[in-house]
Amino acid sequence: MLFTWSFLSNQGLMVIFLLCLRKTERRNRNSQMKRRPVVKHNTIPTFQRYELAGVLSGDQRLILNRQARILTLLSDGNEFAAQVCFPAETLALTQALLDAHPAPCPQAVLYAVCAGVEVEEAREMLKALFEVGMLDLALRGLEGVLADCRAKLAALNLGVQPVAEEDGYRLFRLSLV
């Protein structure tokens, strides 16, 4: 994700610089501790199924093809109802929302997905940005990707709404008027 840094004050830039420096130091420390390379196998399946109780009606379900970045809505009897193709970043945010269902997906998790960092690092960054009064500016990028998610999910009759009490977002069914 690309950010425009011109809106940050010197104090805000210093906070971000220090957080990035701390992350780099942790990476260096962890890489020194590794003695032999570990081969990781991709254990996440290409297709994931989501039933989303309380959001989808009847026997509807969503099938996510992660490689092709396609989300398909199947209606009762496995009939094709709708399909949406996602850009990579929007798909990652959508998948975080789907994985969190029925609970709201915390803002820190969504920010971690957008910023490409671990959730704990995202929490630290959000806390530091809040303390220097820059949280709203930093979350503009997340809001932009959430807007893309909303636009794509509308084709599946789904929406994304904020949950203030939980400081996160959740999926809901769009009602047809």
- 117-170 residue pLDDT tens: 999 999 998 999 889 988 888 788 889 999 999 999 999 999 999 998 878 999
CATH number of the structural domain spanning residue 89 = 1.10.10.10
In angstroms, the CA 75 to CA 62 distance is 9
In angstroms, the CA 47 to CA 95 distance is 12
In angstroms, the CA 106 to CA 100 distance is 9
Distances (CA, A) of 165 to 12, 24, 138, 156, 159: 27, 33, 20, 26, 18
Q: Which domain holds residue 63?
A: 45-173
- Residue 23: inside a domain, yes or no? no
Phi, psi of 61 (to 5 degrees): -155, 160
When pLDDT is averaged across residues 14-21 and rounded to a whole number, the result is 61
Model pLDDT, residue 118: 93
Least confident of 52-61, 94-103, 168-177: 168-177
- Residue 24: inside a domain, yes or no? no
- Residue 80: inside a domain, yes or no? yes
At 132, is the secondary structure helix, strand, or coil? coil
Q: What pLDDT band is residue 5 in, cutting at 50, 70 and 90? A: very low
- Residue 151: inside a domain, yes or no? yes
Is pLDDT above 70 for 11?
no
Residue ranges of E strands in the chain:
47-50, 61-65, 70-75, 79-85, 105-106, 158-163, 168-173
Question: Could you read off the pLDDT of 66-106 as tens digits, one per residue?
Answer: 999 999 999 888 889 999 999 998 999 999 999 999 999 99
Least confident of 10-24, 30-44, 45-59, 121-135: 30-44
- Which amino acid does the sequence have at 86? F
Model pLDDT, residue 177: 44
- Residue 91: inside a domain, yes or no? yes
Number of structural domains found in the chain? 1
In angstroms, the CA 4 to CA 138 distance is 10
Model pLDDT, residue 58: 83
Q: Which residues contact 141 (CB under 8 A, 6 or more apart)?
A: 1, 3, 114
Q: Which residues contact 160 (CB under 8 A, 6 or more apart)?
A: 97, 146, 149, 150, 153, 169, 170, 171, 172
- Residue 8: inside a domain, yes or no? no
- Residue 6: inside a domain, yes or no? no
Q: Pairing mode, if any, of strands 61-65 and 105-106?
A: unpaired
When pLDDT is averaged across residues 106-124 and rounded to a whole number, the result is 92
- Residue 169: inside a domain, yes or no? yes
Q: Is the pTM of this model over 0.85?
A: no
Model pLDDT, residue 139: 86
